[in-house]
């Protein structure tokens, strides 16, 4: 590693990568990769808190990693790997479990939310999920974590755990900071624009997959929820229209104000059509790269294998330090 700061981030391989994931995370990862030491993981260990079909999970993991690369992540300059290929994540998670309090975990809003959605499978992994996330981050002495509003609570817990461990054993973990890019877009559901676009949304019309074909994208935008006012403006209460303007602004790299002016005097039908076309053009080169990468499995395998080796090397340095502080016998 050089003297650049380190960034760690990952996406859970459930559902599909959406336009929201792309504009809110992946597009920013691409912009960050030249200025930071970037470690990007498909966090498959996290996914099994909900029951998965093993064949589908394996395929999704490969699809997600390939889409990372198709979106512009350089898998040779950065570390790209599957979380489950580096056992240190699970090993450090156990240690950190012993430095995390039940009360802290019970206050996690995502645990409450997921427990209500999966009442028949409220497992211990779901409860301790944030500890594994802390291990993901702290293993690599991460400086910055790109984080959305829904993950800020988990990052705060990771910071608290690091500070608590350091308080007992000295300077072991770097205490990470959240990184929220100014240009990060918060993309909402097309069917419920008061909720974030989700890759696990049971309503397929609520999200755009970055692999959706042009006809599907147009159809989903045509069905997007707006309002009865008929005026294209960006203001409080116009959730659906605001969301469409945010999407258009993000993919055209212009301000919302400029977008509003561009659509002045036009109707919602024209707005939806123009936003759909802009999204189609934004995703087209990524989809073409994805198709090419899918033909080169050996290259993909080489990247994630070498990525896991590089990640394991960095993780082992932190884990050795942790083991010495705890008093484990040297291996």
What pLDDT is stored for residue 182 in this prediction? 67
For the chain, what is the mean pLDDT? 92
Which residues, 6 or more positions from 111, have their beta carbon under 8 angstroms from its beta carbon? 105, 126, 127, 129, 130
List 4, 5, 174, 199, catalytic entry = 199
List 4, 5, 27, 114, catalytic entry = 114
What pLDDT is stored for residue 28 in this prediction? 87
Q: Is 4 an active-site residue?
A: no
What pLDDT is stored for residue 115 in this prediction? 66
Using alpha carbons, select from 325, 1, 6, 324 the residue that is nearest to residue 139.
Answer: 6
Cβ burial 202-228 (10 Å sphere, 16+ → b, else e): eeebbbbbbbbeeebbbebbeebbbee
CA 31/CA 71 separation, integer angstroms: 11
Using alpha carbons, select from 304, 291, 275, 292 the residue that is nearest to residue 211.
Answer: 291
Q: Is 222 an active-site residue?
A: no
Q: Is 297 an active-site residue?
A: no
Residues of the chain short of pLDDT 70, as ranges, are: 1-2, 111-112, 114-118, 149-150, 182-184
Give me the numbers of helices (H) and strands (E) for the chain, helices first please.
Answer: 14, 5
Cβ burial 139-173 (10 Å sphere, 16+ → b, else e): bbbbbbbbbeeebebbbebbbbbbeebeeeeeebb
Model-wide pTM > 0.85: yes
């Amino acid at each position: 590693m050089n003297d650049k700061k380190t960034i760690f981030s990952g996406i859970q391989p459930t559902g599909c990568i959406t336009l929201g994931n792309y504009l809110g995370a992946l597009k920013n990862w691409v912009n960050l990769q030249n200025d930071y030491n970037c470690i990007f993981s498909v966090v498959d260990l996290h996914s099994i808190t909900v029951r998965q079909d093993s064949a589908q999970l394996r395929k999704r993991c490969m699809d997600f990693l390939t889409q990372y690369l198709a979106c512009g992540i350089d898998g040779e300059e950065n570390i790209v790997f599957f979380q489950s290929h580096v056992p240190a994540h699970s090993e450090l998670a156990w240690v950190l479990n012993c430095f995390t309090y039940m009360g802290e975990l019970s206050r996690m809003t995502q645990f409450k939310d997921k427990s209500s959605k999966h009442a028949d499978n409220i497992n211990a992994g779901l409860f301790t999920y944030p500890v594994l996330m802390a291990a993901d981050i702290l293993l690599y002495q991460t400086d910055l974590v790109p984080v959305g509003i829904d993950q800020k609570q988990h990052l705060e817990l990771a910071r608290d755990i690091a500070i608590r461990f350091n308080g007992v054993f000295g300077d072991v973990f770097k205490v990470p900071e959240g990184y929220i890019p100014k240009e990060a877009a918060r993309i909402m559901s097309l069917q419920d624009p008061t909720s974030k676009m989700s890759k696990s949304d049971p309503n397929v019309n609520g999200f755009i997959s970055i692999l959706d074909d042009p006809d599907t994208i147009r159809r989903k935008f045509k069905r997007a929820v707006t309002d009865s006012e008929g005026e294209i403006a960006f203001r409080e209460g116009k959730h659906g229209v605001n969301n469409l303007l945010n999407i258009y602004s993000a993919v055209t790299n212009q301000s919302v104000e400029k977008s509003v002016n561009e659509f002045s005097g036009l109707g919602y039908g024209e707005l939806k059509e123009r936003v759909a076309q802009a999204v189609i053009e934004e995703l087209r080169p990524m989809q073409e790269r994805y198709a090419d990468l899918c033909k080169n499995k050996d290259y993909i395998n080489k990247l994630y294998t070498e990525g896991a080796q590089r990640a394991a090397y960095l993780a082992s340095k932190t884990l050795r330090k942790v083991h010495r502080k705890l008093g484990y016998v040297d291996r």
